[in-house]
Structure 1
Amino acid sequence: MTVRLRRIYEPPEPEDGLRVLVDRLWPRGVSKDAAHVDQWPKALTPSTELRKWYHAGEGSYEEFRGRYEAELADPEAAELLDGLRESARTQTVTLLTASKNPEESHASVLAGLLGD
C-alpha cells in the first residue's frame, strides 16, 4: 500500500498513480488540465467551519485532527474513505493539497487513516 502526500503546485509524476485532490476549494493558479486530478471527493475535506477555525490559529494540530476525524465519521465521508482505502490496496494514491505544510494538514490525517 502506497499513499503519497504532495502539494498540488508540484508537477505530476508517473509514480503518483491515482491523484486525489483533498481540498474543499480549487487551488488558486492551477488549471484543471495542468493539475491532472483523478478524483475530488469534497465530502472528505474538512468543513468550512473547521478549516477556518484551524487557519485562524485557534487550536492545536492535535485538536484539529480530532475534530476532523470526527467529521470523517459522517456516512458519506466514511464511504469515500473506504473507497480510497480499497484503491490504495491496489495502486499508489497521491493526496494533493494546496497546504503549505502538508505534514500538518488534513491531508496528513487522511494519509494516516488510509494506512489503517
Structure 2
Amino acid sequence: MADLRDVLVIKRIYDEAADDDGYRILVDRLWPRGVSKERARLDLWLKEIAPSPPLRTEFAHMRERFEDFRRSYQAELERNPAVEQLLELAAGKKRVTLLYGARDPEINHARVLLEFLLGAGSADK
C-alpha cells in the first residue's frame, strides 16, 4: 500500500483542476462561491468531514484563533466516522486531492485535516 503522504494532498478549489489531482474531494461544508460543478470536477463532496458550523463561525479564518481552532477541530475529527471513510477511500487510490475554498493556504481546516489524516493513517499501520 502507498504511503498516505504520497496519496493525500490539499488544494484550493479555485485553482485549476489537473489530471494529476486524482480523486478530487471537496472537504468544505458549504459550496464555494463562483465555482460551477463542471469547473470543480469533483468525485465526492464530503461535507461531513468539515468543521462543525459553530467551530467554523468561531474560527472565522483569523490567524490568532488558528491554534485553538486546530485543537477543537482535531477533537471533532477524533469522533467523526467520515475520517474512517476517507482513509478507506484513500487506501485504494494513487492520489486523493482534498479541496477547500479558504483563501489562506496555511490557515485553513484542510491543512488540519491533512495533518490529522496522516497521523491517523500512520497510527493504523
TM range (shorter): 0.7 to 0.9
Structure 1 runs, 4 residues or longer, greater than 3 Å off = 56-59
Deviation at 1:28, TM superposition (A): 0.7
Q: CA–CA distance in 2 between the matches of 1:11 and 1:57?
A: 26
> Which ranges of structure 1 fall in alignment gaps of 5 or more residues?
none
Is residue 2:102 matched to residue 1:92? no
> Which ranges of structure 2 fall in alignment gaps of 5 or more residues?
1-5, 120-125
Q: CA–CA distance in 2 between the matches of 1:70 and 1:94?
A: 23
Deviation at 1:3, TM superposition (A): 2.0
Map residues 78-89 of structure 1 onto 2, 5 A cutoff.
78-87=83-92
Is residue 2:114 matched to residue 1:111? yes
With normalisation by structure 2, the TM-score equals 0.80
Is residue 2:64 matched to residue 1:54? no
Alignment length (residue pairs) = 114
| Residues 41 and 80 in structure 1, CA contact (< 8 A), matched pair in contact too | no
Is residue 2:74 matched to residue 1:77? no
Over the residues paired in the alignment, what is the CA RMSD in angstroms? 1.9
Q: Percent identity?
A: 42
